[in-house]
Structure 1
Amino acid sequence: MEKNLASVLLLLIAISYTLAKDTTAKNERKDTKEAKETRPKLPQTLSRGWGDQLIWTQTYEEALFKSKSTNKPIMVIHHLEDCPHSQALKKAFAEHKEIQKLAEKFVLINLVYETTDKHLSPDGQYVPRILFVDPSLTVRADITGRYSNRLYAYEPSDIALLYSNMQKALKLLKTEL
């Protein structure tokens, strides 16, 4: 009888311990979830991670206006938030100090949607795609990446070419003035 009583007592202790542990874990998960829900969500900036310290325009029309009024070329970046190629290029772009510095000389816009301007998709609508537009509002179709089937595509390994093309866009502007 004592053995049975001891066994039942041990079983009750084990069950109590397990239930108490499970309840504590649930409360901790609930507290963490509530903390996440009450933390304010920051609004997404216009940079979308391409360079938070840079000044970005909200619409293509705004970029055209700014380009004409400031005599700066536009750098148009087409991308998608859930595209792994866009994400990889965004990371390389944002981490490249020289590109970030040179980008200050452009009117910048990154688009996650297509514009109505068909000149911004001369060889198709793919992402990531980077084009340059001069202040005369001419798309510089002559400034291309290294791919023959996607002329305006860049990959993280093409970051030096992108930097060079940014310099080329600025030089073309100076020679045309």
Structure 2
Amino acid sequence: MEKSCISVFLLLVAVSYALAKNDGKRDTKEVKETKPKLPQTLSRGWGDNLIWTQTYEEALFRAKTSNKPLMIIHHLEDCPHSQALKKVFAEHKEIQKLAEKFVLLNLVYETTDKHLSPDGQYVPRILFIDPSLTVRADITGRYSNRLYAYEPSDISLLYSNMQKALKLLKTEL
């Protein structure tokens, strides 16, 4: 009787273990399917081959020490205007090449620095900061009510504004 009880007990343990193991695999698969896809790099899709900074403070430090202008892109992951601009920005070969000459930061949150929202907090918004840490309020987009906004159709203006930010840096040296 004792041997048969031990045999039944071991059989139950083995079956329980096998069932628990299968359930664990199924749960892991379900978690992977429901988990949102996270960006692979700090680029968040704006240019995976570019070097991006992680924080505003790091970006300011790099701009000052490298003597490069800083380009800050304010956007939201669920904003259709931000997504449309990101797609055009990432696919534009000349912009991607020119962006290598900048310290780059893309933000999906607002900073406490009020200089980064001179005319309001909207997205997408792109601002340039020179190595002296001065926001270049004179480098604007084409909209009078959102001075630093760009749309996909404004990509050539953004490119020329990037060139302007680099030229201003050279004339000030």
Q: Structure 1 residue aligned with 2:29, among 31, 34, 49? A: 34
Counterparts of 1:132-147 in structure 2 under 5 Å? 132-147=128-143
- Return the letter of the residue paired with 1:37: K
Cα distance between partner residues in 1 of 2:152 and 2:67: 29
Q: Structure 1 residue aligned with 2:53, among 37, 42, 57? A: 57
Gap regions ≥5 residues in structure 1: 1-30
Q: What are the Cα deviations for residues 66-98 of structure 1, in whole angstroms up to 9, with x where unaligned?
A: 000000000000000000000000000000000
Counterparts of 1:121-136 in structure 2 under 5 Å? 121-136=117-132
Q: Secondary structure at the match of 1:75?
A: strand
TM-score by length of 1: 0.78
Between Structure 1 and Structure 2, whose CA radius of gyration is higher? 1
User: Runs of 4 or more off by more than 2 Å in structure 1?
Assistant: 33-38, 40-44
Cα RMSD, aligned residues only: 1.9
Q: Structure 2 residue aligned with 1:45, among 37, 41, 57? A: 41
Q: What are the Cα deviations for residues 111-138 of structure 1, in whole angstroms up to 9, with x where unaligned?
A: 0000111000000000000000000000
In the TM superposition, what is the alpha-carbon distance from 1:44 to its structure 2 partner? 3.5
Gap regions ≥5 residues in structure 2: 1-25
- Return the letter of the residue paired with 2:140: T
Q: 1:42 to 1:153 in 2, by over 3 A?
A: closer
Identity level (%): 87
Q: 1:93 to 1:43 in 2, by over 3 A?
A: closer
Q: 1:85 to 1:35 in 2, by over 3 A?
A: same
**Other-structure match for 1:11:** none
Q: Structure 2 residue aligned with 1:107, among 78, 85, 103? A: 103
